[in-house]
Structures are given as structure tokens and as C-alpha cells.
Amino acid sequence: MSSFGKLEIIHPYISSKPPTAVSKGICKTMETNGNLKTNQKRVVLKIVLEVGFYVILATFSYLLSFNKIAYFHPFRRGFFCQNQDLMYPYGGVSVKGGHVALISLLPLIIIISITECLRIRHKIKKKLFLRKWYRIVGPLMIGLSLCTLFYETAKSCVGSLRPHFFAVCRPSIDLKNCTSKYTYITDYNCTEPENDLLIDSRKSFPSGHASISWYGMTFLIIYIHLRISRRWRFLRPLFALLQTVALCVATYIGVTRIQDNAHRPVDIIAGAVIGISFAVITVSQTSALFESDSTDRQSSTAKEDKRESLTLEYEP
């Protein structure tokens, strides 16, 4: 045995002593912060992908709605000789498509913003409000784009002629072929120049105005029932009146399309069914509408408490 005994070599970066509680706390805190940053990156990436998907979908729906996509025109359908259903005069547009979207969505988004702000008790938490608002408005806008894409595709595939088709097209018909009013004409040319109005005259079924208006108003009616009426029960008569007004607005928009000789009643009914269906599907897939305020506050408070506990627990 050497007379010098044991020689302990101490490396400046490697220590033979066991890690203390402080060092363990520092490591765990660093690991937690790393996980939080990773989760934040995932959330940001998810939002970017969702917004990008919506922008692409909304742009395609917009271009399709205004006949801006080449080689995607409605099906060229014929007509019967002396078809009086197509001889109505062109009545213009009482409520434009942009105004329909504005009427159907702007009040809805305003009501959602005010309601979700008031449902957060005591102090308004900006992050909690924005997260809740995005989880409701995001699916609303995606559902609107899908609804638009659906009825525009149906319009182009069916190619139903509007009641004012003869006034817009002024077809050149060989009278020799019209031996009977039941003769179906497919070989004809429009004397009017090809424009958006003529293309749109082949897109009668279903009604886009009815689809958008009933989509927005149905979503509003269900939102009032789930998020407002249950929270402030003493104002239920006022909310019932607001829901009735929403029904009247959607009905009025559909009636104006019949008055403008742009649609038949069956077109309006089909458009309303499409709008209501997409609204119900969107609501069923929007989980934020069915969550209580306590659930949101508990999840938000739990995250804050976890961060504070990690700081206090491992404080040297």
C-alpha cells in the first residue's frame, strides 16, 4: 500500500459528489421550460396550417363563386320550347352576395366576441379570450368556405337555368325545331355576349344566398342557445326574440331571390337545407361551444400554478 493513501482527482466539470436538490430543481425547471417552448411551437405551427388551409379554401371558393376559374363553367343544359318558367324578366339583385355574407357573419362575430369576453369572470385574460374566440370563429369560417364550395360545385354540375334565362341569353332558336312545346332544345346559341351574368344564369339550383344566410343564422341561433341563453337565463325572452329575428332575416333573403326572378322556391329550400346542414355539422365539431367556463378557467389556472410551483419548489 502506498504511503500517500488515496488520491482524489477532482475535475473542474465532473464532480464525484451527488447532485443536490438545487441542481435537480434547475435541471427539472430547464426540462419543463423546454417542453413549454416545444408545445408553443406546435400550437403556432397548428394555427399557421389551419389559417393557411382556410385562406386557400376561401380563395378557391371565392373564385368559383364569381366565375373566375377558367374551364370550370356550369353544365350547358337545354330547355323545352315555349317554357314559360324561363321567360321571366331580369329583376336585378336586391341583396348582393357580399351583403349576404356581411349580414350573416358580422353580427354573429360581434356577438361571439362580446359573449366570450363577458363569460370570463373577474379579470379578463387576453390569452384565454383569444384562444376561445379562435376555437369558435375558426371552425365557423372553415364551415362557411366548405358550404360555399359545396353549393357552387352543385350549381356547376346541375346547370339549372334561372327563371330569367331567356331575358339574359336571348337564345336564337330555329322555329322548325319547335314543333311542340314539349320539344327539348339543346342546339342553341345566346345572342347576348358571354359574360358573368350569362354564366350565372345557368346556376339556379341551389340558391347560394339561401345557403349562406341560413348557415350564418342557424349558427347564431344555436350559439345563443348554447353559450348565451344558458348563462343569462333571466334574459331568455330577449334571446328568443333575437333568434326569431335571425330566422326572419334568413327567410327574407331567400324571398328576395324569388322576387328578383333569380330562383324558384325549390332552389331556396335546397339552399336552406344545405346551409342548415353545414351549420349543424360545424357546431357539432366545435367543442369549444360545449365547454363550461369553469373548464377553461381550471385549465388556464392549472398551467399558471404549475409554473409557479416549479419556481417555488426549486428555489435555492
Distance CA 171, CA 87 (A): 11
Alpha carbon 71 to its chain's center:
27
Per residue in 206-226, pLDDT (tens digit) is: 999 999 999 999 999 999 999
Distance CA 190, CA 171 (A): 4
Phi, psi for 208 (deg, rounded to 5): -70, -35
The pLDDT profile of the chain, 316 residues, written as one tens digit per residue, is: 444 444 444 444 444 555 555 454 555 555 555 566 677 788 788 888 888 888 898 888 888 888 888 777 889 898 988 888 999 999 899 999 889 999 999 999 999 999 988 887 655 577 788 888 889 999 999 999 999 999 999 999 999 999 999 999 998 876 566 777 788 888 888 888 888 899 999 999 999 999 999 999 999 999 999 988 888 888 888 999 999 999 999 999 999 999 999 999 999 999 999 999 999 999 998 888 887 765 555 544 444 444 444 444 434 4
**3-state DSSP percent of the chain in helix, strand and coil, to 5:** 65, 5, 30
> Is 91 within 8 Å of 261 (Cβ atoms)?
yes
110-145 CB burial, b ≥16 within 10 A, e <16 = ebbeebbeebbeeeebeebbebbbebbbbbbbbbbb
Alpha carbon 42 to its chain's center:
23
State if pTM tops 0.85: no
